[in-house]
Amino acid sequence: MTDQTFGDDRLRAILTRGSDTLSVILIDLVADRTWPVVPLVHAEVYDKAQFRVDVLRNFRIDVVERVDDGFHVILGDGFRRIAFGVWIRIRHGELTITVPPSEVSENKPAVHRILSLILLPGLMRGGRGSKLVLPLNTGVVCDPTDKPRVSDRFMIYGEQSRWELMPTLPIAAVQTPTGGVMALATRGAGDTECHVATDGAGSGEVSFGVSLRQNWTDPVDLENREVRYIPIPSDADPVRFVAKRLRTHVMHDLGKPTLAQRAKESPEVDYLLGAYIMKLFYAVQNDGIMMYNVPKEGNVSFKQYMSFPEARENLRRLHAAGIGKVLTQNVGWNPRGHDGLWPTRFPIEERLGGERGFRDLIQYGNGLGYHMQVHDNYLSSYEASPDFDRDLVIQDVYGEPMGLGEWGGGVTYINWALDLSEDQLSGQMRKVQALGVRGVAYNDGMGNPLYRNYHAKHRGSRGDYARGVVRIMDSARSVYGAAGTESGFLYAALPADSMANPGDEGHLRACRPEWPVTALIDRRVPIWQLALHGLIVLENQGHDWSSTMRAVLMGDHPRTEWSAHPGMMPVLDDRMISVLKARYDLVLERFGRLQSQELVDHRDLADEVSWSKFEDGTEVVADFAREELLVDGKAIDVPDALRPTMRDSASVPVVR
């Protein structure tokens, strides 16, 4: 056995070389804690001759060489004729492991291929009194004490087969009474796999693996994989610690600016911060998941809920009510309505008023001082569209177009965005912009779980899919000055100025009980918000006092959807307008400044009672049981338009 020590004045590691193993001991000098010895790496190798995965724990050690801040090693297996390189370093009190795919050798690729490398298995392990932090939804905490014996694994940024998990963030952690460790995937995050297990006796562990492929035929992304391991002090709140370290990575390593910075450089973002986001819903085909419960009587599939002239009148009423700033996202303006014929955008749906009617509406709304924008989509594609291109949509492993969902236009196929022409992307955006629209662009249907493309010509990896989404967002920001999207996977949040949903309780409730990790979900925590608040606008959808309380508590941005006729979205009647005005006054006019500040801390004080603190010192307490909201200790009155609250209703005597 040979021991070699490396590190700095905060963190030290011992790399131990055996005859066919390399192991690591991590020493936290600040906390005076030594972590148990763990293997440097396990390798999962697919054996095609036996149709199974072999887990390699012993290797031929080809190279162990010291570098400035650590070691570079090359490990191999003679029978399988594979080898791979690993760089292990300590920088600024953090352990970094880098795996370059360019250092992976597979000299019998017809029989043996590396699937993944599991890093430091067993390091992030804790017993009773410990907490596991998992990257599901906005963040999940698990207490392993009472958990059954289970194990599971899932990819960061998700997989379609279990999209409800929504692993939005590249983080995981364990916290024990004597301190913990956080893992942060800083490069190749979309090809990072989270492993989690509990032993049924009170202990649990989490680890990261760097994935080259999940299946034999998968395209391999050559981006380096990198994971950083950061000690967590014993007295630190692991949720806040993980979130703030992630925030540092997002701002300093990935270069995401603050909303305050974006507002200075983008008039569109500056306007958004004071504007109510409103989706104006016009029409949809009576097909797809939105319409499953809508009766299918009659021969006309087109369901219309508002025309352009009706929308114009509703904008007039909103302006007359005193709602001075609105960013509209017009939904279903395109042929056959919402998700009707993408990627076809023209001619504009005649049944709603046609192009002339839409231009008149846009001009009128802009004249009110509103930002008139469209609800657009550059990923979805429908076979009925004259612009459908089979070679541009993702193909599955069988060479068939990969259908992902069913919406108004029928089965939805997904464009491979890296190979869209400039005319199909920014060219189309400029054609839409020529209608007169302005303001923060909204691109629907992103981000998604990451997909691979098995098309013979346009073959690409999960990372390539993410780069395609970023390309769409970058194009929209270039054309319109700012852009937002739907779902809060970090890869999609980075180029976005606004985000509809980073995951919610509904997603967690939809996680199936047969999935092992579902048994480990104790409670949802706001790691996403603590990390990203003040860097991106997060929407708050709701029309009641409870949702309004939450908007102030979290510094979120109000959004609504409406139509002129019932059947799909709320109708914009006088009652609805008074609700929107009340939320506009409270959330935007009075407390809108909270949006662009860092969310410094957030805690649950009791059941149904939460506390938040913002960068300027503002403290908000929301008691959802009593329906009371306090800002800096002062009670906020419930606006009349948001009554009756649940508490009001409960106090009304029952007449028998």
Scan for tokens 């036996």, then name that residue. Answer: 50
Read off the pLDDT of residues 552-566 as tens digits, 9 standing for 90 and up: 999 999 999 999 999
3-state DSSP helix/strand/coil percent for the chain, to nearest 5?
25, 35, 40
Percent of the chain with pLDDT over 90: 94
What is 267-496's CATH number, 3.10.180.10, 3.40.50.80, 3.20.20.80, 1.10.390.10? 3.20.20.80
Rg (CA), the chain: 26
Count of C-beta atoms within a 10 Å radius of residue 613: 16
Task: Name the residue type at position 639.
Answer: P
The predicted structure's pLDDT at residue 645: 78
Residue 497 confidence (pLDDT) above 50: yes
Widest Cα–Cα separation across the chain: 85
Q: What is the DSSP string of 554-619?
A: HT-EEEEEEBSSSSSS-B--HHHHHHHHHHIIIIIIITGGGGGS-EEEEEEEETTEEEEEETTS-E
Contact 306, 565 (CB under 8 A): yes
Read off the pLDDT of residues 125-141 as tens digits, 9 standing for 90 and up: 999 999 999 999 999 99
The band of 656, judged by pLDDT with boundaries at 50, 70 and 90, is: very low
The predicted structure's pLDDT at residue 323: 99
330-to-82, 189, 428, 444, 538 alpha-carbon distances in Å: 54, 34, 17, 12, 19
Give the strand pairing for 52-56 and 557-562: unpaired
Residues of the chain with CATH 3.20.20.80: 267-496
The predicted structure's pLDDT at residue 296: 80
The predicted structure's pLDDT at residue 651: 52
Mean pLDDT of 38-62: 97
The predicted structure's pLDDT at residue 571: 98
The predicted structure's pLDDT at residue 649: 63
Read off the pLDDT of residues 260-287 as tens digits, 9 standing for 90 and up: 999 999 999 999 999 999 999 999 998 8
Which backbone phi and psi does 354 adopt, to 5 degrees? 70, -175
Read off the pLDDT of residues 290-333 as tens digits, 9 standing for 90 and up: 888 888 877 778 999 999 999 999 999 999 999 999 999 999 99
The predicted structure's pLDDT at residue 278: 99
The band of 646, judged by pLDDT with boundaries at 50, 70 and 90, is: confident
- The mean predicted confidence, pLDDT, of the chain is 96
Mean pLDDT of 640-650: 79
CA atoms within 13 A on the CB side of 491: 30
Mean pLDDT of 363-368: 99
Contacts 24+ apart (CB under 8 A), 296-305: 302/336, 302/337, 302/351, 303/337, 303/567, 303/568, 304/337, 304/351, 304/352, 304/565, 305/281, 305/563, 305/564, 305/565, 305/566, 305/567, 305/568, 305/569
Residue 655 confidence (pLDDT) above 60: no
The band of 379, judged by pLDDT with boundaries at 50, 70 and 90, is: very high
The predicted structure's pLDDT at residue 654: 36
The predicted model scores a pTM of 0.96
Read off the pLDDT of residues 467-488 as tens digits, 9 standing for 90 and up: 999 999 999 999 999 999 999 9
Residue 1 confidence (pLDDT) above 80: no
339-to-469, 511, 569 alpha-carbon distances in Å: 18, 26, 16
Least confident of 210-214, 295-299, 308-312, 407-411: 295-299
Percent of the chain with pLDDT over 70: 98
The band of 652, judged by pLDDT with boundaries at 50, 70 and 90, is: very low
Measured in residues, the chain has a length of 656
Read off the pLDDT of residues 229-265 as tens digits, 9 standing for 90 and up: 999 999 999 999 999 999 999 999 999 999 999 999 9
Count of C-beta atoms within a 10 Å radius of residue 6: 19
Q: SS3 of 476, please?
A: helix
- Residue 92 zone, left/alpha/beta (φ > 0; ψ -120 to 50; rest): left
Among 405, 414, 161, smallest CA distance to 288 is for: 405
The predicted structure's pLDDT at residue 271: 99
Read off the pLDDT of residues 426-467 as tens digits, 9 standing for 90 and up: 999 999 999 999 999 999 999 899 999 999 999 999 999 999
